[in-house]
Amino acid sequence: MSYYLTTPIYYVNAEPHLGHAYTTVVADALARFHRLLGLETRFQTGTDEHGDKVVEAAVKAGLPVKDFVDRVSARFRQSWDELDISYDHYIRTTDPAHVKVVQEVLSRVHESGGIYFGEYGGLYCYGCETFYLERDLIDGRCPDHQTKPTYLKEENYFFRMSKYQGWLLDYISDNPDWIRPERYKNEVLAFLREPLEDLCISRPKSRLEWGITLPFDERYVTYVWFDALLNYLSGLGYPGGDLYKKFWPAQHLIAKDILKPHAIYWPTMLAAMGLEPFAHLNVHGYWQLDSGKMSKSLGNVVEPKGLAAQYGVDQVRYFFLREMVFGLDAHFSVEALVARINADLANDLGNLVARSLGMAFKYRQGIVPPPGVPNDLDQEVILLAARAAADFLHNFPALEFSRALAGLWEFIGHLNRYIVVNAPWELAKQPEAAARLDTVLYHLLESLRWIAALLRPVMPASALKMSEQLGLGLALWDQPLPQVLQWGRLLPGSTLQKGPALFPRIDT
């Protein structure tokens, strides 16, 4: 079994921002999760580097275009390294291998009649270098330049997308969770109620040179779709090689703004190429930044790099997955981030680890005690651990990250209550309760092992720290989840490690 997951390739006309970081963190958590399940996993991200906006940005930065895209692409890559993103392949649309695949595919689709040469006429603004529709103009003038656009005819290449409309509608009906969550499937179906038009896929070099030359007409470059979307295949070495055979079809992860290209253009392109559609299109919402509170200083913080540096990589990763219901929009604020860190991570989980380990050291010299016969309270802990794990394993791959984590935190809450109910500090005062104290401590520590294992995809560094504090060697830690999640694998007699607070409170 294999699992191939992609993020979009990010457009390099601007720096990485919160939305990019969210998509990439979600993808990373999913990739790590599936690796832990034991699936052969490939996780690809990268950058989209052609087109007029990039040229514009390069001119503005005073750099040759290639130097500019190198710089911004590296900036993205660095951000992902800082966020602990475990991508297997970082693709760039300026990679020679990608360019070659694009040209091969274009040739093939052209030869099979899927691409034709046609004329397009419209109102063109020289300032924007783009065509406008009548209805988009303000008093007949360009909304940006306040100039009157000229009627211009341009010859271009078009992809026969329209002929796939019926097929696509059928495919969506036959595969109801192909585009998910459901709301986005419905949106696509709404698009498809209108007749689908053919897709313009070229730009004359007189207007745009920074692109991939059409293999059948060197006066043109290909525009956006047959370049960018094909990264999902070129990154696998398509059409040759083993990777494509092993990993296609892909799980795509995108934000809702690029739903249409991925849900409509891309599958029809794949159909024209005679390929199997992607496995799922997974669509998420937006982080809403309250513009009122969005001061300039905060603007810098919302840059992923600054956020992780200030609040911690795992803290930010946890916040992303816990705070946003996948598919819906959510509000982002530093206040909300700090609230999550303090309440969930410092108070609930971090403190649970600290008090459990603290008691194990204070009462048992940091040695894992042997569990005695479990009573009802202990049985309940074991039951709830199993339930939390089962729910988590069910919700996480279904993209219900928030629910998965909320469920795990219910278990954490239960453990905090378990401590109060059992009052180990009282047991410690009674010599005859020694076995009972052993049992309580063991159930706590073993529960923490489960929690650490489940949190690995979300907070890899913190989960590892937990495992180290629990004295787990690699043999107990670095295994597929189903093997790790067996009650009682924490060995009595093994040595715990003291460590600093996992998630320090943030003073407000």
- Distance, in Å, from the CA atom of 43 to the CA atom of 35, rounded to the nearest integer, reads 10
Is 145 catalytic? The answer is: yes
DSSP state of 138: B
Handedness of CA 371, 376, 382, 384 (dihedral sign): negative
Determine which residue in the list 14, 97, 294, 328 makes contact with RNA, applying CB under 7 A: 328
Check residue 502 and report its DSSP letter: S
Q: Which of 111, 129, 155, 257 binds RNA (CB under 7 A)?
A: 257
Tell me how far apart the alpha carbons of residues 381 and 419 are, in angstroms, rounded to a whole number: 11
Please report which helix (H) or strand (E) contains residue 85, including its range: none
260 lies in the site for RNA, by CB under 7 A: yes
Residues from 17 through 76 that contact RNA (CB under 7 A): none
Query: Which of these is catalytic: 293, 331, 394, 498?
Result: 293
Q: Taking the complex as a whole, how short is the minimal distance between the CB of residue 50 and RNA, in angstroms?
A: 18
Is there a cis peptide before residue 204, judged by omega within 30 degrees of 0?
no
Contacting RNA within 422-451 (CB under 7 A): 423-425
**C-alpha span between 423 and 436 (Å, rounded):** 11
Q: Give, in degrees to the nearest 5, the angle at Cα 310 between 307 and 311.
A: 80
Kind and range of the H or E run holding 370: none
Q: At how many degrees (to 10) do helices 313-323 and 304-311 cross?
A: 110
On whether the CB atoms of residues 121 and 153 are closer than 8 A, the answer is: yes
Q: Which is nearer to RNA, 36 or 352 (CB)?
A: 352
Stretch that binds RNA, among 38-46, 58-66, 421-429, 478-486 (CB under 7 A): 421-429
Q: Which of 53, 66, 100, 145 is catalytic?
A: 145
Complex with RNA: residue 233 or 399, whichever CB lies closer:
399
Which residues make Cβ contacts (< 8 Å) with residue 165, sequence separation at least 6? 192, 195, 196
Binding mask 124-143 for RNA (x = CB under 7 A): ---------x-xx-------
Among the listed residues 39, 325, 393, 435, the single contact to RNA using CB under 7 A: 325
**What does 23-46 look like in DSSP terms, one character per residue?**
HHHHHHHHHHHHHHTT-EEEEEEE
| Cα–Cα distance, 21 to 7 (Å, whole number) | 11
Q: In this structure, what DSSP letter does residue 163 have?
A: G
Q: How far, in Å, CA of 161 to CA of 114, rounded?
A: 8
Quick check: is 142 catalytic? yes
CA distance 222 to 103: 9
**Which of these ranges, 46-54, 73-81, 94-102, 354-362, lies near RNA under the rule CB under 7 A?**
354-362
Q: Which is nearer to RNA, 92 or 322 (CB)?
A: 322
Residues 89, 180, 489, 505: which binds RNA (CB under 7 A)? 505
Q: Choose one: 92-100, 309-317, 328-336, 385-393; the region binding RNA (CB under 7 A).
A: 328-336
Crossing angle for the helix pair 401-422 and 376-395, nearest 10 degrees?
A: 170
Rule CB under 7 A: choose which of 284, 317, 403, 465 binds RNA: 403
> Taking CB under 7 A as the rule, does residue 121 contact RNA?
no
461 part of the interface to RNA, by CB under 7 A: no
Q: Determine, following the binding rule CB under 7 A, whether residue 145 of this chain makes contact with RNA.
A: no
> Would you say 347 or 494 has its CB closer to RNA?
347
Contact 459, 318 (CB under 8 A): yes
The DSSP line for 386-431 is HHHHHHHHHHTTTT-HHHHHHHHHHHHHHHHHHHHHH-HHHHTT-G
Q: Which helix (H) or strand (E) holds 432?
A: none
Catalytic residue selected from 34, 50, 125, 465: 125
When the beta carbons of 135 and 486 are compared against RNA, the nearer one is: 135
The nearest distance, CB 244 to RNA, in angstroms, is 30
Which residue in the set 234, 351, 439, 467 belongs to the binding site for RNA (CB under 7 A)?
Answer: 351
Nearer to RNA, 74 or 383 (CB): 383
- Determine which residue in the list 420, 474, 475, 486 makes contact with RNA, applying CB under 7 A: 420
| 474 belongs to the binding site for RNA (CB under 7 A) | no
* Residue 128 known to be catalytic: yes
Q: x-or-dash pattern for RNA, window 278-317, by CB under 7 A?
A: --------x-x-----------------------------
- What is the C-alpha to C-alpha distance for residues 508 and 343, in angstroms, rounded to an integer? 13
What is the C-alpha separation between 11 and 23, in angstroms, rounded? 14
Stretch that binds RNA, among 5-13, 43-51, 164-172, 252-260 (CB under 7 A): 252-260
- Asked if 154 touches RNA (CB under 7 A), the answer is no
Q: Is 187 a residue that touches RNA (CB under 7 A)?
A: yes
The number of angstroms, rounded, from the C-alpha of 397 to the middle of its chain's C-alpha atoms is: 12
Tokens of 133: 């529709």
417 binds RNA (CB under 7 A): yes
Rounded to a whole number, what is the distance in angstroms from the first to the last CA of the chain? 47
* Annotation says 465 is catalytic: no
Site string for RNA, 208-247 (x = CB under 7 A): ----------------------------------------
**Neighbour-count burial for 25-61, b at 16+ CB within 10 Å, e otherwise:** bbbbbbbbbbbbbeeebbbbbbbbbbbbebbebbeee
Does residue 125 have an active-site annotation? yes
Site residues (vs RNA, CB under 7 A):
133, 135-136, 182-183, 186-187, 190-191, 256-257, 260, 286, 288, 323, 325, 328-331, 336, 339, 342-351, 353-355, 358-359, 362, 403, 406, 413, 416-417, 419-420, 423-425, 501-505
Just list the catalytic residues.
Answer: 17, 20, 125, 128, 142, 145, 293, 296
